[in-house]
Structure 1
């Protein structure tokens, strides 16, 4: 059933459904504003997309919520299910649809890059380029990546300067050369072929082939000793010992020197964390993790499939085995895609016993800990007031941080269409659900002070009646007069300890109760900027409401006094034509298209507006 569309819209959507091809591909569901809210893949687009509109669904609340919002769709045909799987992962990563499982922290993580130049360097980058360089990563733990970089620079004497070699060498070598952390290509002390051997060692080390590097260094050491080059042999011995200490600290995951990944996922409520432990030569080389959103109500197989697709989409290396806690959805297509990406056979396994089960469980424990840590940090940030709020507490000498600030402003034109606005900021950010508008009811003429008193009185009386907490700070737009009016309103309500501050526009002066002179708050301070931001937002909100009322009054007044034209018909005319000017320029026949406007009334309206015969 096609929901929420006009008759014409339903007919168009039904026609699109009937025209769907029986081919594999990817489809994108859109809401009423044209936003993509879900991306899916299908073996048969015709059958799969139609299933959203025909039948009773799969019983999940998320599915029902998705279907209720669908207003349109489009699709891309692919040659195979494997192509559809990859394209779906790319589109989900790019569009981040509301109802898909997505990586929540899908930012650009850093890579290590071995440059392509006569004497390569190892650099940090966040962009993958087709420049012939070799890339390693991405590293989801940036601190761990920095430790790896420092370790490589200690073990392998590559240069890290920015000079173009050999064309533009420096006048003298740097400190790294003096302390034997660089082979000195700028001095011509190393042959490009020998330098490339060290580059190859770095590449092997970063790929987890530490034991190969160990064997190479040992061979070189004994060769130097046989050639009586004892200084070179001693240097290689020291590097070999450093490497062995590093390798001994790596956790042994398996007695056999195999390459595989262990994947664990921990779910809680609507989010999850996925962890991949990369095992190379039987040792845990790295731990990568991503946080996942949109998992509530989704089966484990679907979550696992979505995580694997998005994790390996940008992976530079795929091992021959991936061990999982449960089989993923679309296992056959995933295996085929990963095998193609690796350039060799890849097997997805659910281990039942032994080292691999323990490592999968360890990955899940890591995922649980990371998710708990993330929530703890988030809650701690919520508890800690932002700097601008703490600065405001300091500068206004408040007892506690003003985490909730409400501001009041008045807008009027010579006393007509007078309105008040109230805006609310929590932790320095606007909370628009708490904004309120007020029509001034008790004040005649231009009396800003009395209007301020009325708005403050109405707002705080309502808070008291509903038993809600009062704001940490009330900001009034104006100087001593507006501040006194707000305080008088609070006293009449029996509120004596409410912090209130006034901010006058002309010189941006800050006034506090009981202090006749403005406070000396530095003009560039974070606290004053926050007050100005809140005051300006209250002013904008008030002016917007005032202009809306004034425009409505002006429009309505021109249609007053026409016999037979009541409030409902006035509003219908204005809704249809948008302005009195458009009504005036319309023909009698066009006016008659509005419900309730007959030929006689149409002529009366035009005669009234034009001051002439409407025929």
Structure 2
């Protein structure tokens, strides 16, 4: 907790005094603002992991640099800690917790359960205890269309109806006189427009009593919860009863309601042959944002999809992102299924399942599908999450803003004379000195410029891997005067990046000095993502999650990918040539025809004798010999 008066103990000393009970902790910055909220079974042990940096999440070192104080709240058990954590995150919106990107209020469909005659409404209001909410809906038009369809099936008053509001005011003044008010409405009430078109039950005109109306409300709730089969059974029973009583007008009205439900089912995709109630949640991450897509499946059909943009991406682990979203999403909805399917196992999955079970009133579990229909639907949800995120990035110009930030941050951190609009990066790939190659990738204005990519075979005779010699050779060839004058190699770079630490940086500086070139250069080490620069023995550490670190890592990783791809091509080609050369009867022409026919060594290895013999010019004896050689 905050310590005031006298010498202030260090954070570590304060943490040593924290109790070992379950609870929630709040890390605060120098201004007293809460920057992170977490829960723990043992508060002292969990908080000590932060102070000693034993928590290996990338954001922790940066976050703890900002921490100046903390608070904690003790509770009785882990379940209470989880509920309290969600409430505290909703109250403080800490920067380092997973949350919605824009934190806007999403629309819900609500039933005003606190009224004698509950009404339905479309709302974005903060949740009230006497109202039941269904959603959220990320498509407002879909929410309004659902209400419109629902009122055709189960007539219920709208909360925006003037006549319903009048009846509500009367009942609020004299709740004990509900029956008398009903008689007054029947004698003097004016039926609203919705009653005339069959979407209102006629509360305003005393056409329905509270018990019959409550039956309609229960049907509405079942419909919104996805329990349509029970509703259909009730309506069919009502239609049969009306027909038996020769009340064909009422039977016709019920029949039209059943047709509305049938039309709705026709538009919904059937996902499972069995009646399952599950939510399938897919995610797609970029550097600091992510997309989430929820498929709401009820009675085996996809009822709706909801899409969200989250304010964390690759700067947190997949597990933390999923857990944060699950807690945020289900804290705000009453529509909880029997199963929630996500892409990875959660450390607190069992406890979250217990929390969802207590909210639902029946069992709910978290599940990671690995095969079958649920896995297929999860992959579809992930694709939809990706498209939702891409639409958001295009709409907001997110990528351009991040790129501009990255270039300006690199200019400042690396003491460059100007933003590095052209970045060239080199990487070496080899295996014990054999098939040694180098790659050159180019990023122009912060984006990969693949037309400028180049790859090199290292000519030096090497008995073992030697990145120092290889790097000097490739830089000497790339920055030789004739290449610098060659338009195909583009212009002089604003920043040269080598994949590696101090040795690779030294090799680059030595070669550039021999060529008489003054090009800003740095090395990026894989271990701690440290940037080595010529003018300081201490590496530059770019902030975790920053646009500059993400860009320079992207450049380095692209160079590595391009180099290792070329290395594998040469190695596979040499392997292929050596194996085919061992087979008698296969010369250069047949070798070429065979590889052209199968396309890859993998397909050739999987081929049967008859399939090999089907290649033009290859006899059955040669095919048999090749088949045996490949399996020797």
Q: Please, what TM-score do these two structures have when normalized by structure 1? A: 0.57
The structure 2 residue matched to 1:74, chosen from 66, 71, 86, is: 71
Aligned residue runs from structure 1 range 164-563, under 5 A: 164-165=166-167, 166=181, 169=185, 172-379=190-397
The match for 1:457 is none
Give the whole-Å Cα distance in 1 for the aligned partners of 2:201 and 2:358.
Answer: 39
Q: Structure 1 residues 189 and 313 mapped into 2: Cα distance closer, same or farther (>3 Å)?
A: closer
Q: Structure 1 residues 18 and 112 mapped into 2: Cα distance closer, same or farther (>3 Å)?
A: same
Counterpart contact for 2:242–2:248, Cα < 8 Å: yes
Q: Deviations over 1:376-423 (max 9, x none)?
A: 11129999xxxxxxxxxxxxxxxxxxxxxxxxxxxxxxxxxxxxxxxx
Superposition deviation, residue 26 in structure 1: 1.3
Counterpart contact for 1:101–1:295, Cα < 8 Å: no
Superposition deviation, residue 173 in structure 1: 2.4
SS of residue paired to 1:158: coil
Superposition deviation, residue 8 in structure 1: 6.9
Give the whole-Å Cα distance in 2 for the aligned partners of 1:335 and 1:368.
Answer: 27
Higher Cα Rg, which structure:
1
Q: Structure 1 residues 63 and 193 mapped into 2: Cα distance closer, same or farther (>3 Å)?
A: closer
Structure 2 residue 101 is matched with structure 1 residue 83: no
Superposition deviation, residue 294 in structure 1: 2.8
Aligned residue runs from structure 1 range 114-193, under 5 A: 114-115=111-112, 116-125=114-123, 126-131=125-130, 133-160=131-158, 161-163=161-163, 164-165=166-167, 166=181, 169=185, 172-193=190-211
Counterpart contact for 1:57–1:64, Cα < 8 Å: no
The match for 2:495 is none
Counterpart contact for 2:334–2:359, Cα < 8 Å: no
Q: Please, what TM-score do these two structures have when normalized by structure 2? A: 0.56
Q: Structure 1 residues 295 and 79 mapped into 2: Cα distance closer, same or farther (>3 Å)?
A: farther
The match for 2:45 is 47
Q: Deviations over 1:110-149 (max 9, x none)?
A: 3222234343321223232223x43322323222111111
SS of residue paired to 1:27: strand
Give the whole-Å Cα distance in 2 for the aligned partners of 1:158 and 1:344.
Answer: 28
Superposition deviation, residue 334 in structure 1: 1.4
Superposition deviation, residue 60 in structure 1: 5.1
Superposition deviation, residue 284 in structure 1: 1.1
SS of residue paired to 1:28: strand
Q: Structure 1 residues 205 and 58 mapped into 2: Cα distance closer, same or farther (>3 Å)?
A: closer
Counterpart contact for 1:305–1:329, Cα < 8 Å: no
SS of residue paired to 1:103: coil
Structure 2 residue 106 is matched with structure 1 residue 106: no
Give the whole-Å Cα distance in 2 for the aligned partners of 1:189 and 1:364.
Answer: 49
Give the whole-Å Cα distance in 2 for the aligned partners of 1:189 and 1:102.
Answer: 47
Give the whole-Å Cα distance in 1 for the aligned partners of 2:364 and 2:89.
Answer: 24
The structure 1 residue matched to 2:89, chosen from 77, 89, 92, is: 92
Unaligned runs of 5+ in 2: 168-180, 402-416, 420-632
Q: Structure 1 residues 127 and 17 mapped into 2: Cα distance closer, same or farther (>3 Å)?
A: closer
Superposition deviation, residue 345 in structure 1: 2.2
Counterpart contact for 2:192–2:204, Cα < 8 Å: no
Give the whole-Å Cα distance in 1 for the aligned partners of 2:132 and 2:93.
Answer: 29
Q: Deviations over 1:227-247 (max 9, x none)?
A: 111111112112211221112
Counterpart contact for 1:32–1:71, Cα < 8 Å: yes
Q: CA RMSD in A?
A: 2.9
Unaligned runs of 5+ in 1: 384-464, 468-615
Give the whole-Å Cα distance in 2 for the aligned partners of 1:94 and 1:200.
Answer: 33
Q: Structure 1 residues 9 and 333 mapped into 2: Cα distance closer, same or farther (>3 Å)?
A: farther
Q: Structure 1 residues 215 and 68 mapped into 2: Cα distance closer, same or farther (>3 Å)?
A: same
